[in-house]
């Protein structure tokens, strides 16, 4: 059923928190399942994607229990996985599929991966090419490129690999496979991508070496179970940060958000656009910085976003495009062709949805160009089955006269099941 959102007469005010970080929740389950002993994960993101990661390790015999937002894992360690009896369904989750291909590569058993329509169209060769160089045997649809896919791993050999795409998923898959070699595996990344894998391995007693743009891991390490608390997801906070910046009379504080600098591009770009935004570091969880973000209604100006900045805000680009419709002048997003390989082609989807809402936005091969200062209007918009497109459309409703009607809104459960509850908890009706 479509979701009708009418927030044209509301502003944002108050304090809130957001659910646990998606990237870190996946990795905590992966490392917890590879670590010997007991692991407790608090403030876990109970979204569909992260539940897929839990299910996958349960299929491989790892004992995992959920209670509230806490996950408890008991594992025999890095060599304790068992052959899954059925194909593993990864649903919509690219992170689970790609990172687990790294784990499967180190197992002498056979695994079959399937996913939903979106995941079955997303390229897996970016991961299987380096994993095959390490010795994994994979096959899949269209010459091994897509799910359904099968894999048989075993004793792998270490490699040094320069990433041809700026992808933390590819980097992480290789590093995970590196654990199952008997030497040093190095990944060279021309542009730095999120480093949660590197940071989290330390929390599980593992060793990893980061030297400039090269990350190296020694095979044969044992990991040890631990207790970990997942910070709030900046990619989820980004919906409310953007909303407050572009809605009149708004001021909010979001506390307990992960502020890892490989993820805070949205903060830097909004500030560059003139946003009244402050961060206040409150604590560290392991090597991850955590803090509060305060943001007020802001007069934004257009900007250019390209190059090394792109991986630091790749998932937030739809929101930046929305903010840019309200900025003074032109905003140009370039070097973002990776957006075409997300849950949907996010360049096409953002341009289509914002155009329906009245924006002046043009698609280019590697991004989009947005003319600012436009008034948006209500419309029926497709979610493209993409959680971030659905949520962006809901935020747009704060700006439109009338309502935004979102088709297939259930995809939002992939990363943010309580999104609408949290949104409605922070909006206040304007006094007439």
Which runs of consecutive H residues, i.e. helices, occur in 60-210? 94-105, 125-134, 141-144, 168-178, 196-203
Q: Which of 315, 352, 386, 421 is catalytic?
A: 315
* Closest approach of ligand S3P to the CB of residue 415, in Å: 8
Hunting for tokens 């509301």 — which residue is that? 10
User: What are the Cα distances from residue 207, in Å, to 24, 151, 203, 221?
Assistant: 18, 27, 9, 8
Sheet with 137-140: list strands edge to edge.
Answer: 88-89, 110-114, 146-152, 137-140
* Closest approach of ligand S3P to the CB of residue 250, in Å: 27
Nearer to ligand S3P, 169 or 374 (CB): 169
Catalytic, 315? Answer: yes
Per the annotation, does 421 bind a ligand?
A: no
Per the annotation, does 4 bind a ligand?
A: no
Per the annotation, does 66 bind a ligand?
A: no
* Closest approach of ligand S3P to the CB of residue 386, in Å: 11
Query: If you write DSSP's letter for every residue of 182-210 in order, what string do you get?
Result: SSEEEEE-SS----HHHHHHHHTT--EEE
Q: Residue 432: helix, strand or coil by DSSP?
A: coil
Nearer to ligand S3P, 7 or 208 (CB): 208
Hunting for tokens 């290789």 — which residue is that? 174
Per the annotation, does 27 bind a ligand?
A: yes
CA–CA separation, 411 vs 389, rounded Å?
Answer: 9
Residues in contact with ligand S3P by the rule CB under 6 A: 23, 95, 167-169, 172, 194, 314-315, 338
Running DSSP on this structure, what letter comes out for residue 264?
T
Q: Give φ, ψ of 39 to 5 degrees.
A: -125, 135
State the Cα angle at 349 between 345 and 354, rounded to 5°.
155
Query: What sign does the CA torsion over 416, 410, 101, 68 have?
Result: positive
Q: Residue 372: helix, strand or coil by DSSP?
A: coil
User: What are the Cα distances from residue 414, in Å, to 46, 72, 164, 311, 385?
Assistant: 9, 21, 28, 21, 10
CA–CA separation, 46 vs 273, rounded Å?
Answer: 33
Per the annotation, does 315 bind a ligand?
A: yes
Nearer to ligand S3P, 243 or 314 (CB): 314
Per the annotation, does 22 bind a ligand?
A: yes
* Closest approach of ligand S3P to the CB of residue 21, in Å: 9
Nearer to ligand S3P, 386 or 422 (CB): 386
Q: Per the omega criterion (within 30 degrees of 0), is the bond before 262 cis?
A: no
Nearer to ligand S3P, 198 or 315 (CB): 315
Nearer to ligand S3P, 10 or 161 (CB): 161
Nearer to ligand S3P, 26 or 36 (CB): 26
Dihedral in degrees, nearest 10, Cα atoms 60, 61, 65, 70: -50
CB 399 within 8 A of CB 297: no
Per the annotation, does 85 bind a ligand?
A: no
* Closest approach of ligand S3P to the CB of residue 168, in Å: 4
Per the annotation, does 94 bind a ligand?
A: yes
What residue numbers does the annotated binding site for 3-phosphoshikimate cover? 22-23, 27, 167, 169, 315, 342
What residue numbers does the annotated binding site cover? 22-23, 27, 94, 122, 167, 169, 315, 342, 346, 388
Catalytically annotated residues? 315
What residue numbers does the annotated binding site for phosphoenolpyruvate cover? 22, 94, 122, 169, 346, 388
């Amino acid at each position: 059923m479509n979701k009708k959102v009418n927030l044209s007469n509301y502003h944002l005010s108050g304090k809130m928190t957001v659910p646990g970080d998606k990237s870190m929740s996946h990795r905590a389950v992966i490392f917890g399942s590879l670590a010997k002993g007991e692991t407790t994960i608090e403030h876990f993101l109970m979204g569909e994607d992260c539940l897929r990661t839990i299910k996958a390790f349960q299929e491989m015999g790892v004992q995992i229990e959920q209670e509230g937002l806490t996950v408890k894992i008991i594992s025999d360690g890095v060599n304790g996985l068992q052959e899954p009896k059925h194909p593993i369904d990864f649903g919509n989750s690219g992170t689970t599929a790609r990172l687990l291909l790294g784990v499967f590569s180190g197992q002498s058993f056979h695994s079959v991966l399937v996913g939903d329509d979106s995941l079955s169209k997303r390229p897996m060769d970016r991961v299987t090419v380096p994993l095959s160089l390490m010795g994994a045997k994979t096959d899949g649809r269209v010459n091994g490129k897509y799910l359904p896919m099968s894999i048989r791993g075993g004793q792998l050999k270490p490699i040094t690999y320069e990433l041809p795409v700026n992808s933390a998923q590819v980097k992480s898959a290789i590093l995970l496979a590196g654990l199952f070699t008997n030497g040093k595996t190095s990944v060279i990344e021309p542009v730095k991508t999120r480093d949660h894998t590197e940071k989290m391995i330390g929390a599980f007693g593992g060793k990893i070496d980061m030297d400039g743009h090269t990350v190296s891991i020694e095979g044969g390490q044992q990991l040890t179970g631990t207790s970990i608390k997942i910070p709030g997801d900046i990619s989820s906070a980004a919906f409310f940060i953007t909303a407050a910046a572009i809605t009149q009379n708004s001021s909010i504080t979001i506390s307990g958000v992960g502020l890892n600098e490989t993820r805070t591009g949205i903060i830097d770009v909004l500030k560059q656009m003139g946003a009244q935004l402050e961060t206040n570091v409150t604590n560290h969880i392991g090597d991850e910085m955590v803090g509060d973000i305060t943001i007020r209604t802001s007069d934004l100006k257009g900007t250019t976003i390209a190059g090394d900045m792109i991986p630091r805000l790749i998932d937030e680009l739809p929101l930046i495009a929305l903010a840019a419709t309200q900025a003074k002048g032109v905003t140009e997003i370039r070097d973002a062709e990776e957006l075409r390989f997300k849950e949907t082609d996010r360049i096409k989807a953002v341009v289509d949805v914002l155009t329906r809402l009245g924006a002046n936005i043009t698609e280019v091969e590697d991004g989009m160009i947005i003319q600012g200062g436009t008034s948006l209007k209500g419309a029926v918009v497709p979610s493209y089955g993409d959680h971030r497109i659905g949520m962006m459309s809901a935020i747009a409703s704060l700006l439109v006269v009338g309502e935004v009607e979102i088709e297939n809104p259930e995809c939002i459960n992939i990363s943010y099941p309580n999104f609408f509850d949290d949104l409605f908890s922070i909006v206040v009706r304007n006094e007439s």
